[in-house]
Structures are given as C-alpha cells and as structure tokens.
Structure 1
Amino acid sequence: MRIELTQQQRESQEGFRAFVQAEIQPNADRYDREERVPPEIIQSMARQGYLGAIIPRAYGGSEMDMITFGLLNEALGRGCSSLRSLLTVHSMVSYAIQRWGSSAQKTYWLPRLAAGETIAAFGLSEPEIGSDAKSIKTSATLDEQGYRLQGHKKWMTYGQIADLFLIFARNGASISTFLVERDTPGFSVSPITGILGTRASMVAELFLEDCRIPAQNLLGGRGFGMASIASSALDVGRYCVAWGSVGIIRACLEDSLNYSSQRQQFGVPLRQHQLIQQMLTEMITNLSAARLLCLQAGYAKEQGDPSTVMQTFIAKYFASVKAAQSANDAVQIHGANGCSSEYSVQRYMRDAKIMEIIEGSTQIQQITIANASYQELGF
C-alpha cells in the first residue's frame, strides 16, 4: 500500500511548518526556561484553527482529516512539545464531547473549544494511579442536588490555566466521566513545577473537595468512563504523541545536520567523521519509519479500520522510543554544547523522555502489542 499526501495535505503541512518556524521555534527555549507559554501564542494557535482541529465545522472547528491532524502534531512537536501537548489534551476533551456528549453539551462547549475561548484538560491520573487507570480513587456520589466529587488528580497538562476539565471518577462499581468547570466550588488547582520535560505544559494537581456539579455534567452514560470515553480519548492522545515524537526526531536531525556541518574537530567538520554519520543515519531512518507508521495509523482512522487502535499503539511505541534515541544522539553530537541551555537539543532529550511515559508508557505499549499478537493467533 502506497501512502502519499494529497495536494491539500501538502499545503496544510507547509502552512503548519511556516507557522511553527515563525511563531514557535524562536521562543520555545524561553518557554521551557520560564515553564509557561504566554496566552498570546495560544490565541494565535486558536486563530489558525488549530485548537478546533478535529471539531466539526458545524461547531466552528476546522474538521481536519486525521492525516492533516497528524501533520499538525508533527509540526508542533518539531517546534515545542509543550505546545503540542496543549493540542493533545484539548483535542482529547473535544473529541470526547463530540463523540459522547449530549446535544446541549456539544452545542455549548464545542464552539468555545474551537475558538480557544475555553481551554480543556484531561483528568484521569492520580497521585497513586498512573498506568492502572481502572483503580482511580476519585469518587462521584449522586444525590438530589447532582453529583458530589471527592478526590485528587495529578499531572494534568495545562491544568494551571484550563477552564474545563474532563474528570474521571468512581461512581459505585463503575467509572463515569464528568465535565467540571474551573470556578466550581470545591475545585482547586495547584501548579507543579520543575518537571523533567515539556516544562512549559503548565502541569497541575487538582483537588475536588465536596465539589458539586449538576447531574447534566455527566458525559455519556453512567459507567461509560473507562471502556468507552477514556479508551477512545486516549487513542487520540497516543496518535498525537506518536506524531509529536516524529517532530522531535526531525528537530534532532535538523539541528544535528546543521551543527555537524559547522563544527570542526581534528581539522575537518564533524560531518566527515564516520561515527557521526552513523548516528545521523539512524535518525534519518527512524524519522522515515516513524512517519510511515503514523501515516498508516492515520489512514486506518480515516477508513474506519478497527486495526487503527493497534496501529496507533505501534506508532506511538516506535516513534517515542526512537525520539529518545535520536535526542540522546543529538546531544552526543553536540558534545558539551549539547548539555548547555544555549542549544535546543538538551530540551529535545528531556521532552523525548516524557513521550515514553505519557499516554501509555513504553512498557505498557510493549505488553499491549505483544498480547494483541497472541490473541490474533488464537492463544
């Protein structure tokens, strides 16, 4: 099967790259140092239609096909993984509302999310619960006044500034999903700083202490939380991270090609040293392979092929692992300079490690992919 971009997709790709090169790349290291992104760049992304990337046009969104959406994630991943993370969590919540929301929820929230008037965050992980998401402890109790939420969430990307949170809570024997607005009584946010990578993603802890919301803030049916809403939203998240990892590999390659052409050692440019060429060859090969895996997953999503879920697992696994490898090699090529904040490769290395953890760790991906292969063969 030959996968190639349409003319419209190529034009979109060029537009994404031009925006990132002009608006994001020159400032990404500063965002990383300051551990924040300014509201102006978020609104600029909104004006470009990026925050409404997968929201239907009927609600003010861009309604991108999944290949184009992937190319956007690659471009943002090339420029700043923290801003790519914004697109990821915002799109995950947008997708959940679009697919599982009531007519009233869609009509109210989707236009606001598409316009960037509302920034969304995804509230699943807890202090003691990461990969074992089915064991969350946050609870939701229904009474005559609505739902009362009690619990503690952690590692919420853009939780410091988000206006709307998709909160997963235990509702009796099952897990349900709720829309919680930032100004809800009993809801509070505490910033998390000093994280290893994606430092500008403005991560936060969330506290729900006798937090009361109307019954209509339930998203989907009771008990839909994990098997339906979380799994489908996380598939979108993994797809974003896979493409974002492709962007990191491209950043490592471009920076390393530039540096090795200018830097001289032993009287010749680094590019003439064979071991440098070996590392560059690995980056080039892994970039091509990771992008093809992502394109294959995106094509399957466009076709409604159920294999897209496993293809996305594979793409995310490969791309994130190779992003970490490429970033490590990029720092090695830069030598001591690569350990300096004056060069972006140290940021790529820290960000790439995060890609191996979020939306399913490398080990969870390996377990899932292997088990799926056993099932396919009837074991």
Structure 2
Amino acid sequence: MTTARPRSRGAPDSPAAPPPWTEGLELTDEQRTAQAGFADFARREILPHADRWDREEHLPGEVVRALADEGHLGAWAPREHGGAGLDPVTFGLLNEALGHACSSVRSLLTVHSMVIRAVTRWGGSRLRSRWLPALASGTAVGAFALTEPEAGSDVASLRTAAEKTADGYRLTGGKRWITFGQAADVFLVFARCDDGPAAFLVERDAPGCTVEPVTGMLGTRAAMTAHLHFDGCAVPAEALVGRAGFGLNAVAADALETGRYSVAWGSAGLARACVEASARHAAAREQFGRPLAQHELVQRLITEMAVNTSAARLLCLRAGRLLHSADPQAVEAVWSAKYFAARSAFRAAADAVQVHGARGCGPDAPVQRLLRDAKIMEIIEGTTEIQQTVIAQSVVRELAGPAGLSAPAQNRGVHSGG
C-alpha cells in the first residue's frame, strides 16, 4: 500500500510540536501532516462526545458517517477500489489518534479494516468488485466474526458449520462478542466445512442470520458488541473468502495481524491520553500545600507512564516499517508491539486513576473510562497470556532452535481473544 494524503477537513498546515518525550518517531513530512489531520479530526469530532457515547453504549450514525467522509473507513483499502491506500505507519497513526480519543471508535476502524484486508487479499474478483468500493467509502461497514462460546483463544475449537449446497453454503452456529455487530452491514464469518475451516462474507439481512445486542460490557461500551446466530443461514458460493481449508491459518491469521497492529497503536494513543490527563491534574491539584506534581510518588507514576508510552509508540513504529517492507520479522514485531502497548496502556490507566484519586473513580471521569477500555486491549486480538506464549516460543526458536520447544505451536498467530 502506498501513502495517500487523508481527506481530513481543517488539517493544520503543520503539525503541533509533540511533547519532548514523544519525539523520535522520525516520520516523513507527509506522515506528520497526516498525523496532525487525524489528531484534529479526533479532537473535533470524537473526544467531546466519548464519555457520553460510553454511557449510552452507542455510537451514533453521525460519527460513522464522519469517519467515512474523512476517508478513514477506507484507510486500509486499495486506491483502485476507492480507498486511501495508506501505508502501515500512516494507518497506525490514524489508529493512535482515534485510540487517544475513544477506543470504541478505534475498535470500529479495527474490525472494519480487518474485513477489508481479508476481502482484498483473499476474496474473489466478484466479491472484491462488489464489496471493496462499499467498504472503502463507508457505505457498508464490516465486522469480524470468529469468536465462539468454545472458541476464543482456542480457535481450533470452532464449531460453526458450513454445509455445502447446490448454489452455495448453509451456516449453522453462533458467534460471540462481535465488535460493532449491532450495526455492521456484513460479517466476515469463520466456519467449518468438510474440507476444513473457511471464511465467508455474510450479509446482515441474510435469511437465518440474527443479531443479539450485548450491553453492560466492561470497556469499549460504545463499540456496539453483539452475538450472532446462524440458523441454516444461506450464503452464495461467491461469498467464500479464499478456499475451504484456508480459513484459519491464512484468512483469519492475516486479518488478525491487521487487528493486532491497529490495537497496538490504539493502545499507545490511550496510554498517551492517560499521561496527559495525569500531568494536567497533578499540576492543578494541591495536597499538603503543594501541587501533586511535586510529590515524588506521583512523579514516579507519571514517569513510568510517559516512558512506557514512548517505548510503545516506538515498537509500533518499528512494526509499521517492517510491515511496509514486507519483512519476515513483521509478524513478531506486531505481536511485540501489541503485547507491550496493551500492557502499558492498562498500567498507565490504572496509575492515572490513582493520580486522580476519588475523582478518577467518578462516573464522569474520563480516566475511569480509559481504565475500563485499557483492560479490553489486553484481551482482544490475542490475550496477554497467549502473546507471552507465542513471543517466548519465537525467542526460543530463534536462539535455541526447534529442539528448545517441547511441542510445535498450533495455529500460530490465530488467536482472537475472548
């Protein structure tokens, strides 16, 4: 994918100077301009409403249209299909800006981009020509449907079945915890065929497909999560993405790489929001006759969040550059970036609440929303524990060889969380 100038309205002529501890990303001038435009959009259109959306557990259609109008929903789509065709680093900067403002909005971009990635790489010509322009323009929104009651991190336990028919397939089963499932127009659904696991693009109004809204989520409450039910849901043959047998280790693994990369940058943005909120509060709030910022224990907390956030951003940048060059190390780099950024975001959010004290626990405190959202980052697109296993296996394999592993990794890279 090549770099394309985003269609952000009112983007500053030059980006604002970042804090000293965020320097070192070494972006191109075009990427810095894009970064400033993304930040401006998020500051105008998202941040003022994020707490309300969280309370209402709903993203209004207006914000989805705003994302589409800016070209952000088509960020990961090829130009020839109407997308922005952003390079990985610029795409990451978009996710960082949205994650800084609202993780629920960033979650929408994540799953939508995962569907775009799968259709772009694995879809047939008819599927691409029909859906990519709609997904790129935002006239259709996609959601990723892999997780099941018995298949979260263990995707090998997939039970949704796809029965071959004369003119296509018939799906039976269910999916759980589907981000933006309440409003998506089309779902990338994974099911088992006689020839192995497969992926299908299933329209929301397909006969036999029903959507069950889920409320009361711990975090990303405005991401409009849903459960999906398939009762003999008929899909045409051209809805098959890739071919039977390629569903998990090819289509799902590739899409989940996009998801992990998006979550990594979004986590870095969330962590940065925690640093900024803590610094402002510590400078303004006095205890024992002096600002909190002058108390050493508070200084320690702010130092940890700031340094870890900087490190997370650098890991994300490294992953983006390796993805752009199609380097074989990109997969491990994405895993490392997501692992560190998600953990850093949760620690930063917990410390931000601590710095704010009782105020941080209040229902209207943005930092308590950040804390709830940050916990979700440690679960989605590969839990922290799964990532520890995969990263450790990679290190041992590289430094000690295959003999250092007691058993080969199964479904490497195919871990959705949940």
Q: Could you tell me which residue of structure 1 aligns to residue 222 of structure 2?
A: 200
| Distance in 2 separating the partners of 1:107 and 1:11 | 31
| Distance in 1 separating the partners of 2:168 and 2:72 | 34
Query: Offset at 1:126?
Result: 0.6
Q: Could you tell me which residue of structure 1 aligns to residue 3 of structure 2?
A: none
Q: Could you tell me which residue of structure 1 aligns to residue 208 of structure 2?
A: 186
**Structure 1 residue 366 corresponds to structure 2 residue 388:** yes
Query: What is the RMSD computed on CA atoms of the aligned residues?
Result: 0.9
TM-score, structure 1 normalization: 0.99
Q: Could you tell me which residue of structure 1 aligns to residue 86 of structure 2?
A: 64
Q: Could you tell me which residue of structure 2 aligns to residue 228 of structure 1?
A: 250
Q: Could you tell me which residue of structure 2 aligns to residue 150 of structure 1?
A: 172
TM-score, structure 2 normalization: 0.89
| Distance in 2 separating the partners of 1:211 and 1:62 | 33
**Structure 1 residue 308 corresponds to structure 2 residue 308:** no
| Distance in 1 separating the partners of 2:388 and 2:341 | 13
| Distance in 2 separating the partners of 1:154 and 1:172 | 23
| Distance in 1 separating the partners of 2:197 and 2:111 | 20
Q: Could you tell me which residue of structure 1 aligns to residue 364 of structure 2?
A: 342
Unpaired stretches in structure 2, ≥5 consecutive residues: 1-23, 405-418
Query: Offset at 1:173?
Result: 5.1
- Residue identity matched to 1:13: Q
**Structure 1 residue 282 corresponds to structure 2 residue 304:** yes
Query: Offset at 1:145?
Result: 3.2
- Residue identity matched to 2:169: Y
Unpaired stretches in structure 1, ≥5 consecutive residues: none
| Distance in 2 separating the partners of 1:207 and 1:22 | 37
| Distance in 1 separating the partners of 2:150 and 2:241 | 24
Instruction: Answer yes or no: is the 8 Å Cα contact 2:178–2:226 preserved in 1.
Output: yes
1:250 corresponds to which of 272, 281, 284: 272
Q: Could you tell me which residue of structure 1 aligns to residue 286 of structure 2?
A: 264
| Distance in 2 separating the partners of 1:54 and 1:277 | 39
Deviation string for 1:224-249 (max 9, x for gaps)? 10110000000000000000000111
Query: Offset at 1:185?
Result: 0.4
2:104 corresponds to which of 70, 82, 100: 82
Query: Offset at 1:3?
Result: 5.5
Deviation string for 1:118-137 (max 9, x for gaps)? 01000100122200012110
Query: Offset at 1:191?
Result: 0.2
Instruction: Answer yes or no: is the 8 Å Cα contact 2:209–2:228 preserved in 1.
Output: yes
Identity %: 54
1:171 corresponds to which of 168, 172, 193: 193
**Structure 1 residue 135 corresponds to structure 2 residue 167:** no
Q: For the structure 1 residues 271 and 96, does the alpha-carbon distance in structure 2 shift closer, same or farther, using more than 3 Å as the test? A: same
Deviation string for 1:195-216 (max 9, x for gaps)? 1000000000000001111111
1:317 corresponds to which of 339, 346, 351: 339
The count of corresponding residues between Structure 1 and Structure 2 is: 378
Query: Offset at 1:168?
Result: 0.1
Query: Offset at 1:284?
Result: 0.9
| Distance in 2 separating the partners of 1:220 and 1:317 | 29
Deviation string for 1:271-313 (max 9, x for gaps)? 1111100000001100110000000000000111011001100
| Distance in 2 separating the partners of 1:275 and 1:226 | 47
Task: Return structure 1 stretches of 4+ with deviation > 4 angstroms.
Answer: none
| Distance in 2 separating the partners of 1:284 and 1:314 | 19
